Amino acid sequence: MPYFDHAFDWARRNVEDGPLPSAVLGVATGDGIVALEAFGGASVDDHYPLFSITKPIVGLAALHQVERGLLTPDTPLTEAVPEFGAGRDDVVRLRHLVSHASGIVEPPMDDVRGLRPGLLAPGRDFAAGTASRYSTIAFAGVAALIEHASGAPWERAVDAVGARVGASGFTFDAAASRHAPVDADSQGLDYARFAALRHPGAGLLGRAEDLLAVGSALLRDDGALVSQAAHAAMLRPLTVGVPKLEPYPASRGQDWGFAWNLRHSAPSLLTTDTYGHGGWAGTEFWITPSLGICFVLLTNVGGGYGRFGLDGDRLHNAVAAGA
């Protein structure tokens, strides 16, 4: 790891000195993994809860249905869930769901009612497409559209995403991981109840090598994972010109693409074409095409390491500079 010493030092230091309970850090190019190391008693092939990194993987599963001619970004949610939107005078479409612009009122991730009641709860935060506020429940709508279009359980389409690039470790079975998030209860999440939901917006588990296989395929852009046309479409910003509401205000310098966080103007990053996603327990998955690099950080600190004042963009920049 001659070029990424500073990045791996970041991970090692923040496990040994806290706040990370454990971690796996990996870096890959379009040719595959170039560096991978585990810290704090973890193994490089351990599964971790990915939390919201689930979203772009499910987004890729939806994009495959678009490639098959079974959906379009404009397909309304009511095509799969006719009872959705009672009392709303707008139309929520797939492109709104994947870009956090649906206006669906966000329930807790461990909602005792389950996913479908949360999706169907009356009212709205705003009219679809008029603003952007981060939404996890919206991906229950994405899953419903995938299932309706494909005629098979939506999880099967997620499995197919991994199968296209040899990533065999994706699962919604929490028992696959020995790294349940530390401090989940104190951060307001009943992890057992949440895990039982198999949430399409946050419930996926995986290994670093699984995400790096996805990242490598996207860097190659050779059609193995998605067509070049779909690849370009998924990185097209969908939230330009609309108000960006907390917790992702405009000052963060990002837009939402097709389930991807596009950090094109993040003031703290060295790069301007980085895209990817983070997760509730501090997990990170980011791709920078101009540098031909992607990286994954898997960890398990409930509520994320930011609550301890740790700035993950320092890791971003160490990886970018190393590349």
Q: Residue 135 phi/psi, 5° resolution?
A: -140, 125
pLDDT band at 171 (very low <50, low <70, confident <90, very high): very high
Q: Per-domain residue ranges for the chain?
A: 5-301+309-322
What sign has the CA pseudo-torsion 164, 1, 288, 295?
Answer: positive
pTM of the predicted protein model: 0.98
Neighbours of 272 (CB within 10 A): 13
Residue-by-residue DSSP string for 40-59: TT--TT--EE-GGGHHHHHH
Read off the amino acid at residue 59: G
Q: Is the pLDDT of residue 1 over 70?
A: no
Whole-angstrom Cα distance, residue 62 to residue 196?
A: 22
Whole-angstrom Cα distance, residue 134 to residue 138?
A: 9
How much is the pLDDT for 3? 87
How much is the pLDDT for 311? 97
pLDDT band at 182 (very low <50, low <70, confident <90, very high): very high
Q: Residue 89 phi/psi, 5° resolution?
A: -105, 15
How much is the pLDDT for 271? 97
**Which pairing describes strands 48-49 and 32-39: parallel, antiparallel, or unpaired?**
unpaired
Q: Is the pLDDT of residue 2 over 80?
A: no
Q: 3-class DSSP state for residue 39?
A: strand
Residues 80-99 pLDDT 10s = 999 999 889 999 999 999 99
How much is the pLDDT for 76? 98
Instruction: Scan for tokens 């139309």, then name that residue.
Output: 91
pLDDT band at 241 (very low <50, low <70, confident <90, very high): very high
Q: DSSP letter for 268, please.
A: T
Cβ-count burial of 273 within 10 angstroms (0-12 exposed, 13-18 middle, 19+ buried)?
A: middle
Q: Which CATH class is domain 5-301+309-322?
A: alpha beta
How much is the pLDDT for 240? 97
What sign has the CA pseudo-torsion 187, 190, 194, 195?
Answer: positive
Closest CA to 294 of 268, 260, 266: 260
Cβ-count burial of 250 within 10 angstroms (0-12 exposed, 13-18 middle, 19+ buried)?
A: middle
Strand-pair partners of 209: none
Residues 265-316 pLDDT 10s = 999 999 999 999 999 999 999 999 999 999 999 999 999 999 999 999 999 9
- For residues 195-207, give the mean pLDDT: 98
Q: 3-class DSSP state for residue 265?
A: coil
Closest CA to 246 of 88, 98, 100, 55: 100
Whole-angstrom Cα distance, residue 76 to residue 128?
A: 11
How much is the pLDDT for 186? 97
Whole-angstrom Cα distance, residue 42 to residue 178?
A: 9
HSE toward the beta carbon, residue 68, CA cutoff 13 A: 13
